């Protein structure tokens, strides 16, 4: 997919105020500092469409970006950041879950996982929640450039093994790096393929 246009539309913390549209949307979510903003910028080939965070936990809003006038990329708040107060955490957890429960045009959630780390309970719990609520999702492993190829492969294999303890199959996954662009095209083509089957051909 070639990105011809990418524009910020609206930020909010209330799912009922998200754009009223039937365009398909794809949500990006993960632990704070996982590399979500960098990935969104890499995917859209923009330097600062999503604000990379000096201070993680800052962007506790649902951000809608319109891509190629045909689909929305949705930047959801990072979860699991310790410096956010318990109340704030609860609030954004609630609107994240409301977003997934209510947003019918949400086609696929991309759950971002730092490829350097062992499986973390909070990510596992979040994916279980998605599964229980029948929310389709993929995994995007981030920061692949920070690992040597063998270690990266080992980590991804270990992750799969951990997932297969509770899931009958590994979800679709992508290995990416915002630093060198690895995997971006695969993610965009995946989205394009779905969109082609959803939208009338022009
Ligand atoms: P967010 O909090 O999930 O939006 O994470 P950011 O995109 O702000 O990234 C957090 C930190 O990781 C920043 O210092 C980024 O420069 C760094 N980072 C993000 N993605 C990559 C990547 O693919 N490779 C490398 N080497 N660093 C990355």
Domain ranges for the chain, please list them.
6-197
What is the average pLDDT value for the chain, to the nearest integer?
A: 89
pLDDT average, residue stretch 145-151: 97
Domain 6-197 is classified in which CATH homologous superfamily?
P-loop containing nucleotide triphosphate hydrolases (3.40.50.300)
Sheet holding 173-175, edge to edge: 6-12, 62-67, 71-75, 25-30, 106-114, 137-142, 173-175
Q: Which two tokens stand for residue 173?
A: 């996954």
32 lines ligand 1 (CB under 6 A): yes
Residue 81 in this model has a pLDDT that exceeds 80? no
Give residue 24's pLDDT band: very low, low, confident or very high (50, 70, 90). very high
Query: To test ligand 1's pocket by mutation, which of 35, 114, 144 has the most ligand atoms within 8 angstroms of CB?
Result: 35
Residue 34 in this model has a pLDDT that exceeds 90? yes
Instruction: Report the share of the chain in percent with pLDDT over 90.
Output: 69
80 lines ligand 1 (CB under 6 A): no
Q: Which of 93-97, 100-104, 159-163 has the lowest mean pLDDT?
A: 93-97
Query: If you measure from the C-alpha of residue 92 to the centroid of ligand 1, how many angstroms do you get, rounded to a whole number?
Result: 21
Give residue 57's pLDDT band: very low, low, confident or very high (50, 70, 90). very low
């Amino acid at each position: 997919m070639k990105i011809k246009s990418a524009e910020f539309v609206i930020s909010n913390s209330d799912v009922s105020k998200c754009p009223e549209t039937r365009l398909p949307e794809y949500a990006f979510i993960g632990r704070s500092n996982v590399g979500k903003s960098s990935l969104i910028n890499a995917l859209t080939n923009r330097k600062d469409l999503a604000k990379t965070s000096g201070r993680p936990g800052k962007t506790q809003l649902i951000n809608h970006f319109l891509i190629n006038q045909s689909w929305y990329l949705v930047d959801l708040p990072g979860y699991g950041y310790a410096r956010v107060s318990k109340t704030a955490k609860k609030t954004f957890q609630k609107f994240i879950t409301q977003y997934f429960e209510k947003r019918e045009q949400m086609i696929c959630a991309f759950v971002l996982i730092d490829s350097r780390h062992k499986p973390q309970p909070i990510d596992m719990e979040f994916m279980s929640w998605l599964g229980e609520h029948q929310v389709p999702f993929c995994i995007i492993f981030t920061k692949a450039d920070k690992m040597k190829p063998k270690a990266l492969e080992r980590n991804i294999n270990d992750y799969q093994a951990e997932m297969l303890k509770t899931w009958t199959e590994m979800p679709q996954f992508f290995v990416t790096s915002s630093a060198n662009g690895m995997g971006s095209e695969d993610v965009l083509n995946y989205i394009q393929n779905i969109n082609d089957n959803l939208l009338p051909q022009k």
